[in-house]
């Protein structure tokens, strides 16, 4: 569980990223920025900050912020009831993002993972997203991503988000806890 002090610190950093990128949020949106530490209490290594703009039955849009070298852990979006699962497009708005998906393992990947967590990262086909570049993920595809040294801002365009259905490779991650 992230502490109040850490939450405040990370939220301030997140707001600075949005400001730098000229992304304007309403006061109501600033109040509900999510800081997710995935229950690991290692926010600077494993975490994700985001604002969700819309999430209807049919589509969803968010802007994500990653701090320098911060990693969103490996997960997938499985089929749920009548839906084939969440389809996601990641568009890099600022900085560089290293995205990993199934496929041939990239030699000398740019992202690094602490030794104690390496077993929870199983896909190592690297896709580099510079500013203005994007990638669309089919449902049910394992993926994870890490920011470069400047951190990054990513627009996520997707079908409906149902975070409670996401499946993380790391069994220590039970759900996405959010401290607000």
Give contact residues for its own copies (rule: CB under 8 A).
21-26, 29, 53-54, 56, 58-61, 87, 89, 91, 93-94, 131-134, 136, 155, 157-159
CB of 131 to its own copies, least distance (A): 4
What whole-number distance in Å separates Cα of residue 49 and Cα of residue 64?
Answer: 6
Comparing CB distances to its own copies, the nearer of 10 and 51 is 51
> At 28, which helix (H) or strand (E)?
helix 27-31
Contact, 127 vs 59, CB < 8 A? no
CB of 149 to its own copies, least distance (A): 18
Other Cβ atoms less than 10 A from the Cβ of 4: the count is 8
CB of 93 to its own copies, least distance (A): 7
Comparing CB distances to its own copies, the nearer of 34 and 88 is 88
Which residues, including other chains, have CB under 8 Å from residue 24's CB and lie 6 or more apart? 18
DSSP state of 38: T
CB of 125 to its own copies, least distance (A): 20
Comparing CB distances to its own copies, the nearer of 94 and 121 is 94
Comparing CB distances to its own copies, the nearer of 133 and 163 is 133
> At 16, which helix (H) or strand (E)?
helix 4-20
């Amino acid at each position: 569980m992230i502490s109040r002090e850490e939450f405040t610190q990370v939220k301030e950093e997140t707001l600075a990223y949005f400001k730098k990128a000229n992304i304007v949020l309403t006061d109501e949106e600033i109040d509900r920025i999510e800081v997710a530490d995935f229950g690991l209490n290692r926010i600077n290594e494993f975490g994700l900050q985001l604002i969700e703009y819309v999430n209807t039955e049919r589509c969803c849009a968010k802007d994500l912020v990653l701090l320098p070298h911060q990693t969103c852990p490996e997960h997938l979006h499985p089929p749920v009831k009548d839906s084939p699962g969440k389809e996601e497009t990641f568009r890099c708005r600022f900085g560089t993002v290293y995205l990993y998906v199934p496929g041939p393992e990239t030699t000398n990947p740019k992202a690094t993972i602490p030794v104690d967590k390496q077993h929870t990262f199983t896909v190592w086909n690297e896709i580099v997203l510079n500013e203005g570049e994007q990638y669309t993920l089919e449902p049910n595809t394992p993926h994870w991503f890490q920011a470069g040294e400047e951190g990054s801002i990513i627009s996520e365009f997707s079908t409906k988000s149902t975070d409670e259905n996401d499946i993380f490779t790391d069994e220590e991650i039970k759900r996405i806890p959010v401290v607000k």
